[in-house]
Structure 1
Amino acid sequence: MKKHEFDRYEAYKNSGVKWIGETPNQWKVTRNKDIFEERGSLSSSGTETLLTVSHITGVTRRAEKNVNMFMAETMEGYKLCEKGDLIINTMWAWMGALGTSNENGICSPAYGVYKPKQYIPYCHRYFDYLYRTPSAIMEMTKNSKGIVSSRLRLYPKDFFQIKTSLPDYITQKSIADYLDTKTAQIDRKIDLLTQKANQYGELKQSLIYETITRGLNKSVSMKDSGVEWIGEVPKHWDVKRLKDFGTIETSSVDKKIKVEEKLVKLVNYTDIYGNLTKEIWNQDDYMVVSANHKQIQDKCLEKGDVLFTPSSETIEDIGVSAVVMENLRDTLYSYHILRLRFNKSIFLNFKKYIFNNEYVQFYFSQSAKGTTRKILGLNSFYNLKIAVPPTIEEQKAIADYLDSKTEQINQIVESIHIKIDKLKELRKTLISAVVTGKIKVVLEGELV
């Protein structure tokens, strides 16, 4: 592998273009209309490889994307594109949905397809890096037409007016080769760290499951729980249905404000969704709505309540729970959440772990009904069997142990994610600096 090192170009000039800034003297500042032209040819059969554009992956084969969007009956009349063409999703250019193609194919008629003009120095991999930098995407957004961001469109005439600082072909290729190598190295490090974080997440779940079903004393006598996915539990533990521990209620509180009613805070679906052990207590985060006297009397949250999301678009995320860790003033729960209020004394922190484990999630996934949206009825919750130590002291010991161990794992995972974020930022900064000529890539034995 050739050795790379950073340097500065011999001299710089003011490009006169905000998104470019200073640029190497030998790079030519020109409009995109002098680099590109619309391809304009259409497919007569629609049988070519269908390509799509993403702000994450750039131009990829549609068959490789896991999407459920509507597919046309025929792709006759779709735009033809060739290897190296710049393809821009006209409606999502402001999000960076663009890139250059690595193969011939067809794409949506709503996309813009641009081919390089003859005799223009053009390494398509260089332009793929260049136009997906944050500063380039901002320039695309600025030149898009529309009232709000979700309605912005980057039309060809506006794309052609954008200015680009253009290096010669050798420089473009050297930059692209360098970034191919360097970003692959960074991506590999990110992948390894992500795998490591996932492994710690699995360790955490395994620890919770093992402790919440087996306890801390490994020498204690065990018994069959009578529940297949729980297995054996300590002999002195109680295994009962949730209906024996408390009452589950729905709510009629919606997101409206009526002048004759009192203003209250509302814990919403999104406040607990995806947060298996979130401690609900910061009232400043919640929506302000109104409620009548009876709703406030019956649906106000109390310390120790457990909230569930009884529906989800995916089977893996149904039955998410959160525990109310403090007494709340005039805070209610919304109509698409269920509240469990215990009538038996259970240690507060222990409640965080009762439902946050693999066997409960398995039960919920098996009990859910529906096709496009998965739903759990009240009976599914009431019939859930859980194993609970009979004394508050043992519940507290288990909760304290899990609090300590999971916090250690959380800190490790957080430090891993900090490293991942730094690598992602390094990747982004490196690409921007190299493709705009702020730093020069020198390959050993070559002069760039």
Structure 2
Amino acid sequence: MNSINEKIPFLRVLPDGWKTHRLKEISKVNLSNVDKKSHDGEKVVKLCNYVDVYYNHTISDKIDFMIATASDEQIRKLTLKKDDVILTKDSESPSDIGIPTWVKEDMPEVVCGYHLALIRPNVNVVTGLYLYYLLYSYGFKEHFWISAKGVTRFGISKGDIQNIQLLIPPIELQNKITRYLKEKDLLIDKLIKKKENLIMLLQQQRQSIITEAVTKGLNPNVKMKDSGVEWIGEIPEHWKVKKIKHFATHVGSGKTPSGGSEVYLDEGVPFLRSLNVHFDGIRLKDLAFISEDTNAEMKSSQVQPLDILLNITGASIGRTAIVPKDFGRANVNQHVCIIRLNQKKMYPYYFNMLMASDVIHQQIWFAQNGSSREGLNFVQVKELKFAMPPTIEEQREINDWVFNKLKTIYDVMSKIKEQIEKLKEYRQALIYEAVTGKIDVRDMELDEVR
């Protein structure tokens, strides 16, 4: 080991034979400007977009890429080649910036998409796979988080990426390190996959319990009747099929303030977006704020206690949450619909549970419109049908029973998610130890992992 290395702050010593380089000295970096829209006069391409990078350690032809268009210049600069590394460079959360993936093979029909940086290494100095592991490790990720600029939308510049200092061993040792890490990765991924499958089964069980309760009630001996609606089936004889519009005193959404995210503040009136609305409640991570004046201008979308919030666009369409009684003031953007109920006829907590059932989600699935972005309009929301217990007392009884039933499931799911996070942390720690020379793999017997 050489003396303390000041170029890479989180590394105390430089292993013998290893060298430091700025990324720009050993690779070429291009920021993508290819969006998801198709433009006349451009060529049709497959698009490797943000989620493809975020959710995959490796980019290969197994991914179902979306179709878009690109110019000749974009195709020339941004077509994927073997050993490219792609990095997320923009996000609503700093922790989602600097997520890398490795391109496994030449992909002549696939172009790197918007909000991403395409890094093409000089493979005589650093292999793509080693560079991927290096950028994935502790220290480098933190560098990108610290470099990120923004208030509610964060990004890193080309300079932030190009000027990062890297620790590079000889190629032969890089290959040994990547074989070692691939072996460990395979074992960790198998464990994570098993736990994710268990969470999926628990989610299905949760969905089944909710759907059964909001269509059959709690009394197994009650007389049943045909609801007249195929996706609802038989319901208790004293229940009725209703629509949201029969109980809602308000259905509507907000809008993006003039100036968009540029007018968001560090404090003020909470501005809820679809990323804040989850089945387990309103999440305050990455919460945006707006001014008092903007909130006053958007009076119709100010939330009230026990409002039901429904995501009406994007990948999270159909996700709902109830506004707690003590939540305080807030507003919503155009991607979140407020459903305000007549609480003398509908128990809000029951309705919030009902909105998470298959009865509602099947209708949302069929009602979605738009070719490239899912969406619901207010008329469709008002027309959603469901079976209705006639009294607040019965609604409350069903809700309380389901809540107690699901508590154990949520507790188990929470523990499994913690285990998955610990495995991911272990993976990162292992990578860090390997790419900083703290784990010596030179004399290890390693298999070739493909």
Tell me whether the two structures share a fold, i.e. TM-score over 0.5. Answer: yes
Counterpart for residue 275 of structure 1: 278
The AA in structure 2 aligned to 1:14 is I
Q: Does 2:136 correspond to 1:132?
A: yes
SS in 2 for 1:178: helix
Matching residue's letter, 2:292: V
Give the residue type in structure 1 aligned to 2:371. T
Task: Name which structure has the greater RCO, CA cutoff 8 Å, separation 6+.
Answer: 1
| Structure 2: gaps (5+ residues) | 30-42, 259-267
Contact 1:90-1:112 within 8 A present in 2 as well: no
Determine what percentage of the aligned residue pairs are the same residue: 22
Q: Deviations 1:13-59 (Å, cap 9, x if unpaired)?
A: 434432462446533335469995779xxxxxx9xx99999466466
State the partner residue of 2:35: none
- C-alpha change, 1:286 and 1:404, in structure 2 (3 Å) is farther
Aligned equivalent of 1:387: 387
Q: 1:420, 1:216 → 2: CA distance?
A: 35
- 2:247–2:346 CA contact under 8 A, matched in 1: no
Deviation at 1:212, TM superposition (A): 1.0
Distance (whole Å) between structure 2 residues aligned to residue 80 and residue 360 of structure 1: 42
- Matched with 1:42 is none
Residues in 2 aligned to 1:34 and 1:279: alpha-carbon distance in whole angstroms: 42
1:113 aligns with 2:120: yes
Question: Counterpart of 1:153?
Answer: 158
CA contact (8 A) 2:302 2:329 kept: yes
Partner of 1:259: none
Q: Would the alpha carbon gap of residues 217 and 38 (structure 1) be closer, same or farther in structure 2, given more than 3 Å must change?
A: closer
Residues 267 and 331 in structure 1, CA contact (< 8 A), matched pair in contact too:
yes
Alpha-carbon distance in 1 for matches of 2:137, 2:283: 38
Q: Secondary structure at the match of 1:337?
A: strand
Determine the C-alpha separation between the residues in 1 that align with 2:317 and 2:85.
35
Q: 2: CA distance between counterparts of 1:155 and 1:272? A: 27
Label 1:177 to 1:224 Cα distance change in 2 as closer, same or farther (>3 A): same
Secondary structure in 2 matching 1:233 = strand
Find the aligned partners of 2:53 and 2:239 in 1 and give their Cα distance: 52
Over 3 Å counting, the alpha-carbon distance change for 1:34 and 1:248 in structure 2 is: closer
CA contact 1:51–1:61 (8 Å) conserved in 2: no
Equivalent residue runs for 1:311-350 within 5 Å: 311-314=312-315, 317-318=317-318, 320-326=319-325, 337-342=337-342, 344-350=344-350
Task: Please give the TM-score of this superposition, normalised by the length of structure 2.
Answer: 0.71
What is the aligned partner in structure 2 of residue 166 from structure 1? 169
Kept in 2, the 8 Å contact 1:90–1:153? The answer is no
Give the TM-score normalised by structure 1. Answer: 0.71
In the alignment, is the contact (CA less than 8 A) between 2:89 and 2:98 conserved in 1? no
Aligned residues: 408
- Structure 1 unaligned runs (5+)? 1-10, 40-45, 257-264
> What CA distance in whole angstroms lies between the structure 2 residues aligned with 1:187 and 1:221?
49
**Native 8 Å contact 1:79 1:113 kept in 2:** no
Q: How far apart in 2 are the matches of 1:417 and 1:359?
A: 27
Query: For the structure 1 residues 167 and 203, does the alpha-carbon distance in structure 2 shift closer, same or farther, using more than 3 Å as the test?
Result: same
- Structure 1 residue 235, shift from structure 2 partner: 1.1
TM-aligned CA distance change 1:254 to 1:218, over 3 Å: same
How far apart in 2 are the matches of 1:86 and 1:155? 18
Distance 1:151 1:164, change over 3 A: closer
Superposition deviation, residue 421 in structure 1? 0.4
Residue 186 of structure 1 is matched in structure 2 by: 188
Structure-2 change in CA distance of 1:172 and 1:266 (3 Å): closer
State the SS of the aligned residue for 1:390.
coil
2: CA distance, partners of 1:394 / 1:76: 61
Q: Judge conservation of contact 1:280–1:324 (CA < 8 Å) in 2.
A: no
Which of 219, 222, 233 is the aligned partner of 1:220? 222
Residue aligning to 2:69: 70
Structure 2 CA distance, aligned partners of 1:378 and 1:351? Answer: 17
Task: Determine which of 25, 28, 36 is the counterpart of 2:18.
Answer: 28
| Contact 1:308 1:338 (C-alpha < 8 Å) held by counterparts | yes
Do the aligned partners of residues 286 and 398 (structure 1) sit closer, same or farther apart at CA in structure 2, a change above 3 Å counting? farther
The answer on 1:204 being equivalent to 2:206 is yes
Letter in 2 for 1:129: Y
Amino acid at match of 1:28: W
Whole-angstrom distance in 2 between the partners of 1:135 and 1:304: 43
1:419 CA drift (Å): 0.4
2:409 matches 1:419: no
* Structure 1 partner of 2:232: 230
